[in-house]
Chain A
């Protein structure tokens, strides 16, 4: 029983990371109908930026984290303004290749700047908590708490703030939003900024658990699986999908070690075969 709970909490905290990354995918997908295959690499860049600010330039941790988020938000907006904006309205293939290419560039650039030797960030959160016979790392509890907080903030933002509503409108119909006076271009850049900041946060949260290295960007594929399980157009679905993926992993590793690497993907294929729209998808009409 204790082992079960232990695995569950580890899974939930890992799932929160995947959920945050999936959230980034889903936001960009909803706003621009583009799939950002470079999301995982943006997370990786975020953790490297945090390393530079905190470990290299010596910023205090609590200042370094918001600074990283701002840097990465600016970076996300710049990527949109300089590169991605050009392919809006182009066929899906162009978009997929563009973001895949961006991912390759980010990974190579990170390898050139920060090297391929794994780095660590000294986090102020350390130690273990134990309750009901479970021992759990404090940083895992922080991940869960931060994710819960972020979801609340995002929900309020999309529900009540003017910009949040404008983002939702843009994601439904770009032309109509434009006619209603919403600055669609600015909104899309803002969505990229928010998505980049969220994935940078995921990168910072992940840093104490795993080491920081350029290949971390490939975790994006698991976040993809999460977004697919959740249904690629639903923000609560992204978080739930992330949790499902996160929980499957430690249990597969503990009970069915032969398939621990691909269990997540097998589950994803089953979900896709049964419900091609994802578990929590919203209604789509088929376009002609």
Chain B
């Protein structure tokens, strides 16, 4: 068990609370940077997808995990980011223009959703965002002059300083650098007054109002930041996919993003990465396991979504707060070894009591 000895007020503001954090996260980044030396092309591609999904999940976490606004429509922002990036690259701009434009346009989309969405809550918000994603997908299908419609659109490779990024490990490193930057931005927002206001709005809108926070402004801010990060992820997703059709960005993608962050652990940045790795490992693992099984079982159509769904449901049924909270439990078991109490993580159940008249 580590006891923090604080000698300075500024210590509370540090991102890395102690030398252990600095060591382990530094090691993690070194390993991730060195990964292309060890892994071959296929696994680097899979890792790139995990990183892209982590970036999208990071965006969704800002609005859903930290501000408490369930969004089932983040595939729309991925779509806007992906198509904007592809369009600007196709016009001959470099990634220095295309990527910020992807973030910017998707940010504008986020702002458009946020203004009505800030008035809604709970299930209405989830459905409104779901519907927004359906409409955006529909519009992208109809705007064939820009998006190629349902026939699809090829994506050019990223361009930096006149250099084209062809290799899969180059794309991997590019995504990794942007993802680390985005994570640092989110972490910094979270320790600023804005971030604390977001968490206050999530925990109780009325109490946060009483403390002088304007929940509307905070929600709009969260949606905008979230859309920008997700749009950026969409831009990279375009490079990963190489070919875009509106159908890729359907409801199922939004659902997958939400599943990812809930499985990882809502309300934690760790959760995003746990969730992205879990979903990535599950998909790759299922397709590898499928080849290993006899073809009478492995060859059945639809076995992948079935296994996927069963794992999701069992994780939620046995650990509703996600993998990160399981990790926290294991860690504190080891930290407090002889005196760990299971009850210290017991949460009170909330029974239904509505104020409905009928």
Q: Is the A/B pair a real complex?
A: yes
Seen from chain A, the residues whose Cβ lies within 8 Å of a Cβ on chain B are 29-30, 32-33, 35, 83, 86-94, 96-98, 100-105, 107-109, 111-112, 116, 168, 171-176, 218, 221, 224-225, 228, 232-234, 258-259, 261-262, 265-266, 268-269, 272-273, 276-278, 282-288
Task: Note all chain A residues with C-beta closer than 8 A to B350.
Answer: 89
Known contacts A261-B138, A272-B128; is A105 also within 8 Å of B116 by CB?
Answer: no
Task: Note all chain B residues with C-beta closer than 8 A to A282.
Answer: 356-358
Known contacts A108-B309, A228-B124; is A173 also within 8 Å of B354 by CB?
Answer: yes
Output the nearest chain A residue to B64 by Cβ-Cβ distance.
A93
A33 to B316 alpha-carbon distance, docked (Å): 17
A42 to B36 alpha-carbon distance, docked (Å): 46
Q: Is the CB–CB distance between A232 and B123 below 8 Å? A: yes
B31 at the interface (CB under 8 A from A): no
Q: Is the CB–CB distance between A173 and B353 below 8 Å? A: yes
Segment among B13-21, B155-163, B165-173, B298-306 that sits at the interface with chain A: B298-306
A283 to B354 alpha-carbon distance, docked (Å): 10
Give the residue among A94, A168, A171, A273 with the most B Cβ atoms within 10 A: A94
Q: Is the CB–CB distance between A174 and B358 below 8 Å? A: no
B204 at the interface (CB under 8 A from A): yes
Seen from chain B, the residues whose Cβ lies within 8 Å of a Cβ on chain A are 64, 70, 116, 119-124, 126-128, 130-132, 134-135, 138-139, 142, 204-207, 251, 255, 258-259, 262-263, 266, 300-306, 308-310, 312-313, 316-317, 320-321, 349-358
Q: Is the CB–CB distance between A96 and B142 below 8 Å? A: no
Q: Is the CB–CB distance between B312 and A97 below 8 Å? A: yes
A92 to B266 alpha-carbon distance, docked (Å): 12
A30 to B358 alpha-carbon distance, docked (Å): 10
**What is the minimal beta-carbon distance from A98 to any residue of chain B, in angstroms?**
5
Q: List 29 A-B contacts (CB under 8 A).
A: A87-B316, A93-B266, A94-B320, A96-B70, A96-B258, A97-B259, A100-B255, A100-B258, A101-B259, A104-B308, A104-B312, A109-B302, A168-B358, A172-B354, A174-B351, A174-B353, A225-B131, A232-B123, A232-B124, A258-B142, A259-B138, A268-B127, A269-B116, A269-B131, A269-B132, A276-B119, A276-B124, A284-B356, A288-B207
Task: Note all chain A residues with C-beta closer than 8 A to B303.
Answer: 108, 112
Task: Note all chain A residues with C-beta closer than 8 A to B351.
Answer: 89, 174-175
Task: Note all chain B residues with C-beta closer than 8 A to A232.
Answer: 123-124
Task: Note all chain A residues with C-beta closer than 8 A to B305.
Answer: 104-105, 107-108
A168 to B354 alpha-carbon distance, docked (Å): 12
Task: Note all chain B residues with C-beta closer than 8 A to A225.
Answer: 127, 131
Q: Which of A32, A98, A111 contacts B302 (CB 8 A)?
A: A111
**What is the minimal beta-carbon distance from B213 to any residue of chain A, in angstroms?**
15
How many residue pairs link A and B with beta carbons under 8 A? The number is 164
A258 to B144 alpha-carbon distance, docked (Å): 13
Q: Is the CB–CB distance between A288 and B313 below 8 Å? A: no
Q: Is the CB–CB distance between B70 and A92 below 8 Å? A: yes
| Chain B, interface SS category | helix
**What is the minimal beta-carbon distance from B357 to any residue of chain A, in angstroms?**
5
Known contacts A89-B350, A91-B320; is A283 also within 8 Å of B356 by CB?
Answer: yes
Output the nearest chain A residue to B137 by Cβ-Cβ distance.
A262
Task: Note all chain B residues with C-beta closer than 8 A to A111.
Answer: 301-302
Known contacts A282-B356, A286-B206; is A109 also within 8 Å of B135 by CB?
Answer: no
Q: Which of A105, A107, A228, A276 contacts B310 (CB 8 A)?
A: A105
Q: Which 5 A-B pairs have the closest CB atoms?
A: A89-B349, A105-B309, A285-B355, A104-B309, A108-B306
Output the nearest chain B residue to A288 by Cβ-Cβ distance.
B206
Q: Is the CB–CB distance between A173 and B251 below 8 Å? A: no
A259 to B204 alpha-carbon distance, docked (Å): 39
Output the nearest chain A residue to B355 by Cβ-Cβ distance.
A285
Task: Note all chain B residues with C-beta closer than 8 A to A261.
Answer: 138
A286 to B313 alpha-carbon distance, docked (Å): 31
A269 to B305 alpha-carbon distance, docked (Å): 31
Give the residue among B302, B320, B352, B358 with the most A Cβ atoms within 10 A: B352
Q: Is the CB–CB distance between B352 and A102 below 8 Å? A: no
A32 to B351 alpha-carbon distance, docked (Å): 9
Output the nearest chain B residue to A91 by Cβ-Cβ distance.
B320
Q: Which of A87, A224, A262 contacts B317 (CB 8 A)?
A: A87
Q: Is the CB–CB distance between A108 and B316 below 8 Å? A: no
Task: Note all chain A residues with C-beta closer than 8 A to B306.
Answer: 104-105, 108-109, 112
Task: Note all chain B residues with C-beta closer than 8 A to A88.
Answer: 349
Output the nearest chain B residue to A170 by Cβ-Cβ distance.
B352
Task: Note all chain B residues with C-beta closer than 8 A to A83.
Answer: 313, 317
Output the nearest chain B residue to A287 by Cβ-Cβ distance.
B355
Q: Which of B135, B258, B266 contacts A266 (CB 8 A)?
A: B135
A268 to B73 alpha-carbon distance, docked (Å): 15
Q: Is the CB–CB distance between B116 and A273 below 8 Å? A: yes
**What is the minimal beta-carbon distance from A277 to any residue of chain B, in angstroms?**
8
Output the nearest chain B residue to A86 by Cβ-Cβ distance.
B317
Task: Note all chain B residues with C-beta closer than 8 A to A258.
Answer: 142
A176 to B355 alpha-carbon distance, docked (Å): 13
